[in-house]
Amino acid sequence: MSQSAKHHADYTIAWICALPLEAAAARTMLDKTHPQLPQPPTDHNVYTLGEISGHNILIVCLPAGVYGTVSAAIVLSQVLSTYTALKFGLMVGVGGGIPRSVENSDMWLGDVVVSKPTSDGTSGVVAYDSGKLLGDAGFTLTTVMNRPPQLLLNTLSHVQTEVIMGNSLGISAIVARTLATNPDMAEQYSTPDRATDRLFQADYNHPRGATDCSGCERQYLVDRPTRISDEPRVHYGVIASGNQLIRDSISRDHLADKYNALCFEMEAAGLMNQLPFLVIRGISDYCDSHKSKRWQGYAAPTAAAYAKILLSKIPPGYSPVSATIAAISPSPESIKPYFMVPFAQNPQFLGRGSELIQLRRMVLDGGGPRKAAISGLGGIGKTQVAINIAYHFRDQGLHSVFWISSTSAQAVQQGFLDLAARVGLQDITPDNVKMRVKSYLTSNVTRPWILMIDNADDMEIWSSSFARETIPVAQHGFTLFTTRNHQLAVRLVGRNIIRLMAMDASVATAMLSQTLWDESLLGNDKDALSLVDHLQGLPLAIMQAATYMNENQISVDTYVSLIGEQEDSLLELLGQDFGDKWRLAKAAARSAVVRGSKLVPINIIAYFLWY
């Protein structure tokens, strides 16, 4: 392979589009294109790989006709399984604008809206349809979106500063050059007649059955100031994301006022909590009954042009992951990597992108702490994250990976005996095995290694002295604990803790969709969201529910109704013995039913605290 050939770890930015029209605009922005790379059979995406201003970028589009937050979540989860060195993502495409004054600048079709955190704590994206009805409090949001990375926020400030100083971003010039280079795209992507950019008063509806606005009464047009320049303006603020297509001006204005939003779209809420993302939307309509697709062809390249400008302001760097991999000296051929993990890789694993990225970087950061812990409720997915990390580094081919179960003192002892036998240590006894393994792993003859210690929950087993005597510490090694016991995690690793929380609604619904064998069982998004809300976004609960539905051929809405009939139904459904091969703790769920049945009323969070 030539020195210029790219590897998966060289790609650090994901550019995601919902529509082919948006993906085509994105591809025209690439300075260079790269050959495709192999991908696992579980990744069904089709990628365009290339480069902008020295940044290696992958472009991927959602499946044709399958839009929304769930589809976006599934696509991104597969991206992250293949391209493991991504730093951040850009969601770029068209959106529905909210015509309101923004910093004394009105919004026109073809303008661009960019997500930006607000002073009240909003990340820049609001999942406006993900929440609960709480009595007098009304509908309350339950999903909090992650903020974009600091690098992108600093770059936004730089771009805004340039405009304040009177320097044009040159969006129109980029679009014009793109169309000159790709003349076959000109008809679809050129600027429509500005006279077709009509904003009607909110209480004036489009005539029923009319195909365009030629028959709409002009007296209801909103009087807007004329712009001197046709250069699209860029507005920064909150973008409202959800699974509903908004085409009603009254609903638009109500939600806009509630969340101080500038734009509506349908994918970002499924992305933000898997990987740091910035959302860039070209305004193609005003989310009212007069909505049409006339301006989509122009709004798509204006958003793509802004993304290109933004990337040009970020100094090209290197992937800390791939750089560290390259710096690891190959071990002698006689020292082959060991892989001692008792679980198969889970092809249905979804989400946790930010946590996986953080853990991978911890492992490869030779100057950082050489141990970490994953903590969280039982059933939250700690072991599945650890399994994903294990297989990731196995596939890299540089690290040995060892797994020790810590469900009891006997299990820990047996794990060290198995490890010693696997690497060929001689004269091992139960009394010396921990010392011998520690000495072996800290020696210079071993290749880089990762030691996974799963279910380290017992404070009596993991006393300070036991941990100190047992856990090896070396620059070429890394120890990762999983635990429900946050206090123990602090004692073992200090601040180097990855705290897993319940999955957000979009990722949880994507997991449900992917796990059900018969698509007809899923029903509509409303039913699926209702179920994952009942199950509090806990992966174990979702997998158990899906397994029950698969075996009994009942739909999601039927399952929800069973839960709603009586709380005992929840215990019965989650307590089924399904012979789950992806380590979803059937025995623990069964024992939880016995103990949980004493709790009246039972709460699903309390239920899983038992495990």
Residue 250, H or E segment: helix 249-259
Asked if residue 448 has a cis previous peptide bond (ω within 30° of 0), the answer is no
In a domain, 438, yes or no: yes
Q: How many residues does the chain have?
A: 611
In a domain, 323, yes or no: no
Are both 377 and 415 inside the same structural domain?
yes
Domain that holds residue 598: 505-609
Is residue 364 within 8 Å of 320, Cβ to Cβ?
A: yes
Q: Give the residue from 73, 18, 23 showing the smallest Cα distance to 48.
A: 23
Instruction: Grade residue 578 by pLDDT with cuts at 50, 70 and 90.
Output: very low
Region of 523 (left: φ > 0; alpha: ψ -120 to 50; beta: rest) is left
Q: Is 372 helix (H, G, I), strand (E, B) or coil?
A: strand
User: For 397-476, where are the alpha helices, taking DSSP H only?
Assistant: 409-423, 433-441, 464-470
Q: Position of tokens 């009596």?
A: 460
In a domain, 358, yes or no: no
Are both 342 and 272 inside the same structural domain?
no
Are both 156 and 233 inside the same structural domain?
yes
Choose the weakest-confidence range: 132-146, 501-515, 577-591. 577-591
Q: Give the residue from 57, 65, 142, 128 showing the smallest Cα distance to 92.
A: 57
Q: Give the residue from 40, 48, 34, 47 showing the smallest Cα distance to 5.
A: 34
pTM: 0.74
d(CA 360, CA 362): 5
Boundary of a domain, candidates 445, 475, 499 = 499
Are both 513 and 555 inside the same structural domain?
yes
Neighbours of 191 (CB within 10 A): 19
For residue 366, the one-letter residue type is G
| C-alpha distance from residue 32 to each of 51, 53, 58, 140, 340 (Å) | 5, 9, 12, 46, 41
The pair of structure tokens assigned to 222 is 């909103």
Are both 156 and 38 inside the same structural domain?
yes
| C-alpha distance from residue 521 to each of 73, 109, 173, 244, 507 (Å) | 20, 40, 49, 21, 18
Are both 448 and 519 inside the same structural domain?
no
Boundary of a domain, candidates 443, 469, 499 = 499
We report the CATH number of the domain holding residue 452 as 3.40.50.300
Are both 53 and 155 inside the same structural domain?
yes
Choose the weakest-confidence range: 32-36, 37-41, 330-334. 330-334
The answer to whether the Cα torsion of 15, 20, 25, 28 is positive or negative is positive
d(CA 160, CA 200): 30
Boundary of a domain, candidates 452, 477, 499 = 499
Residues 6+ apart with CB under 8 A from 319: 9, 10, 11, 12, 85, 87
d(CA 423, CA 470): 17
- How high does pLDDT run on average in the chain? 81
Is residue 412 within 8 Å of 519, Cβ to Cβ?
A: no
Are both 488 and 431 inside the same structural domain?
yes
In a domain, 386, yes or no: yes
The pair of structure tokens assigned to 46 is 């089709």
| C-alpha distance from residue 472 to each of 259, 434, 476, 498 (Å) | 51, 9, 11, 20
pLDDT digits (tens, 9 = 90+) for 345-367: 887 787 788 888 888 888 887 66
Are both 305 and 343 inside the same structural domain?
no
Q: Give the residue from 460, 496, 455, 459 showing the smallest Cα distance to 478.
A: 496
d(CA 254, CA 599): 41
Q: Position of tokens 């529509």?
A: 19
In a domain, 330, yes or no: no
Are both 301 and 441 inside the same structural domain?
no
Average pLDDT of 480-487? 93
pLDDT on residue 608: 40
Average pLDDT of 586-594? 31
Q: What is the DSSP letter of 108?
A: -
pLDDT on residue 36: 93
d(CA 202, CA 207): 14
pLDDT on residue 100: 65
In a domain, 209, yes or no: no
Instruction: Grade residue 159 by pLDDT with cuts at 50, 70 and 90.
Output: very high
* Number of structural domains in the chain: 3
Choose the weakest-confidence range: 60-64, 249-253, 295-299, 481-485. 249-253
pLDDT digits (tens, 9 = 90+) for 414-464: 999 999 999 888 998 999 999 999 999 988 777 899 999 999 999 999 988
Is residue 67 within 8 Å of 267, Cβ to Cβ?
A: yes
Q: Position of tokens 């979106």?
A: 145
Are both 112 and 253 inside the same structural domain?
yes
Cα-based angle 224, 225, 227 (whole degrees, multiple of 5): 125
SS3 of 341-370: the string is: CCCCCCCCCCCCHHHHHHHHHHHHCCCCCC
Are both 428 and 279 inside the same structural domain?
no
We report the CATH number of the domain holding residue 148 as 3.40.50.1580
In a domain, 599, yes or no: yes
Cα-atom radius of gyration of the chain, to the nearest Å? Answer: 27
The pair of structure tokens assigned to 366 is 């030779």
For residue 502, the one-letter residue type is A
Choose the weakest-confidence range: 135-144, 403-412, 477-486. 135-144
pLDDT on residue 143: 64
d(CA 504, CA 406): 29
pLDDT on residue 385: 93
